[in-house]
């Protein structure tokens, strides 16, 4: 058993009979009354995001979880097929349970969060930085601006992000998947 003092982003726990994951939290100590923790938690079975308030010191039942590396094989509608590289076991996850899925390309490695006691996959996380090829972008005009101007570009995974004017079709770029922003061009 843990308390609200043990809250951290990514902590998984049982709440009202379902597994939940803390997306963000904030300890609040008002001038009058007891302290409390304002949280945004995600239901790991339905994908629903909920804002909840816990009074300070309340006990929670922490779930034991483990991360395993899986390879993304292909998508079939909203179902994404993943394979464990060690034993070739395949699992299927809904699109809603994969964070930053727009940056996922075939063959990429993802971290799958498993409920350690039940062996059930809960969610998947794309790496924090990925390298993708630009499949479409308008040509940038030299001398167009004096500031850091950007233009929209479509990547091989289908995501659209803003890139600098010097990026062309066929270029490989590094993307921060958390913010969905361009980092650098890869030679």
Domains recognised in the chain with CATH numbers: 2-62 (2.30.30.30), 65-125 (2.40.50.140), 129-186 (2.40.50.140)
Q: Is the pLDDT of residue 165 over 90?
A: no
Strand order of the β-sheet with 49-55 is: 2-3, 59-62, 12-15, 18-28, 36-43, 49-55
Cα angle, residue 46 at apex, residues 130 and 113 outer, rounded to 5°: 45
Question: pLDDT exceeding 70 applies to what percent of the chain?
Answer: 96
Q: What is the pLDDT of residues 35-86, one digit of tens each?
A: 999 999 988 888 788 999 999 989 999 998 899 999 999 999 999 999 998 8
Q: What is the pLDDT of residues 116-146, one digit of tens each?
A: 888 888 889 899 999 999 999 988 766 655 5
Residue 14 has φ and ψ, to the nearest 5°, of -90, 135
pTM: 0.77
Tell me the two tokens of residue 128.
């924090």
Q: Which residue has the tokens 């991360």?
A: 67
Longest CA–CA separation in the chain, Å: 62
Q: 32, 176, 37: which is closest to 102 by C-alpha?
A: 176
Q: Taking the mean position of all CA atoms in its chain, how far away is CA 132?
A: 17
Q: Is 123 helix (H, G, I), strand (E, B) or coil?
A: strand
**Cα–Cα distance measured from residue 91 to residue 120, given in angstroms and rounded to the nearest whole number:** 10
**Cα–Cα distance measured from residue 15 to residue 157, given in angstroms and rounded to the nearest whole number:** 35
Q: Is the pLDDT of residue 183 over 90?
A: yes
Kindly give the pairing relationship between strand 98-99 and strand 120-125. Answer: parallel
């Amino acid at each position: 058993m843990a308390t609200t003092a043990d809250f951290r982003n990514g902590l998984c726990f049982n709440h009202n009979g379902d597994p939940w994951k803390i997306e963000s939290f904030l300890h609040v100590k008002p001038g009058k009354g007891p302290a409390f923790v304002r949280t945004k938690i995600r239901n790991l079975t339905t994908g629903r995001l909920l804002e909840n308030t816990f009074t300070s010191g309340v006990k929670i039942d922490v779930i034991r979880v483990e991360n395993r590396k899986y390879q993304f094989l292909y998508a079939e509608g909203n179902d994404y097929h993943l394979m464990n590289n060690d034993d070739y076991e395949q699992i299927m996850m809904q699109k809603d349970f994969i964070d930053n899925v727009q940056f996922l390309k075939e063959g990429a490695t993802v971290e799958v969060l498993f409920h350690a006691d039940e062996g059930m996959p809960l969610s998947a996380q794309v790496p924090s930085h990925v390298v993708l090829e630009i499949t479409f972008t308008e040509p940038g005009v030299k001398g167009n601006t004096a500031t850091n101007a950007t233009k929209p570009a479509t990547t091989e995974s289908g995501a659209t992000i803003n890139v600098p004017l010097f990026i062309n079709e066929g270029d490989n770029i590094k993307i921060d998947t958390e913010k969905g922003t361009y980092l650098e061009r890869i030679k």
